[in-house]
Structure formats: structure tokens, C-alpha cells
């Protein structure tokens, strides 16, 4: 009976050790800032009437994929990598790079990245 108990404890211990590793490999634990999902890319179009932003997102296949997201009054806009400066929908202009945080099918936050210096 002691051997059965020891085997059970080993099995439970193994599950506790390997379950988080398996979740991380499947993308279940993506780290801080990625809990809700999101997009990163270059703004290719802005529709001020519909409050939509179309983003060119790189994909695993060759080329890029265009994703259009709809913002609303609850969408938070910020400027800068640290999101230190408040922004508005009007700051998301064609050519700017953005990080869009999704909460389900809603756009929770749009971070407008600073323009990078061109390499010489």
C-alpha cells in the first residue's frame, strides 16, 4: 500500500511540474500584457466616420495580412512604448506603428509607437 501512495504522489508532482510548461508551449501563458490578445503592425488606413483602423500585420505565410479593428468610446489611446502620454483616435495616422490590445472582440487599447530614426 505504501508503494501505491508513493506512485500517486509522484504522478501528482509530475502534473504540477509539467502542466505550466505545457500551457506555456501552447500559448496559454503568454506573459504580462498578452493576456487578452492583440495585434502589432503598421496603420494602412483610418476611417474617421466608422472609427476603424486597418493594420498591416505580418503573418507566418509570406506577405502581410490586413486587419481592420473598430474602436469605440471605451478604447484607450496612448502614445509611446510605455504609454506615458495620452492620445486620441486622430493620432493613429497612416504609416504609424501601433499595438492593439483586444479584450474579446473589443479594442481595449491602442498604443501608438514613436517613429523610429531611419538607419543610414
Whether the model clears a pTM of 0.75, i.e. scores above it, the answer is no
End-to-end CA distance of the chain: 73
pLDDT of residue 20: 45
CB 48 within 8 A of CB 91: no
Query: Comparing 111 with 4, which gets the higher pLDDT?
Result: 111
CA distance 94 to 74: 22
Distances (CA, A) of 1 to 6, 11, 19: 9, 16, 27
Instruction: List, for residues 26-58, the tens digit of each pLDDT value.
Output: 344 343 444 457 889 999 999 999 999 999 998
Instruction: List, for residues 63-113, the tens digit of each pLDDT value.
Output: 788 999 999 999 999 998 665 789 999 999 999 999 999 988 889 999 998
The model's confidence at residue 25, banded by pLDDT at 50, 70 and 90, is very low
CB 40 within 8 A of CB 101: no
Amino acid at each position: 500500500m505504501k508503494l501505491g501512495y508513493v506512485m500517486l504522489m509522484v504522478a501528482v508532482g509530475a502534473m504540477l511540474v509539467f502542466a505550466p510548461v505545457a500551457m506555456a508551449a501552447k500559448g496559454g501563458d503568454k506573459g504580462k500584457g498578452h493576456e487578452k490578445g492583440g495585434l502589432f503592425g503598421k496603420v494602412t488606413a483610418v476611417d474617421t466616420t466608422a472609427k476603424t483602423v486597418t493594420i498591416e500585420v505580418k503573418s507566418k505565410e509570406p506577405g502581410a495580412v490586413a486587419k481592420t479593428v473598430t474602436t469605440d468610446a471605451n478604447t484607450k489611446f496612448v502614445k509611446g512604448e510605455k504609454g506615458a502620454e495620452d492620445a486620441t483616435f486622430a493620432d493613429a495616422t497612416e504609416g504609424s506603428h501601433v499595438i492593439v490590445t483586444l479584450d474579446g472582440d473589443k479594442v481595449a487599447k491602442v498604443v501608438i509607437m514613436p517613429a523610429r530614426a531611419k538607419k543610414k
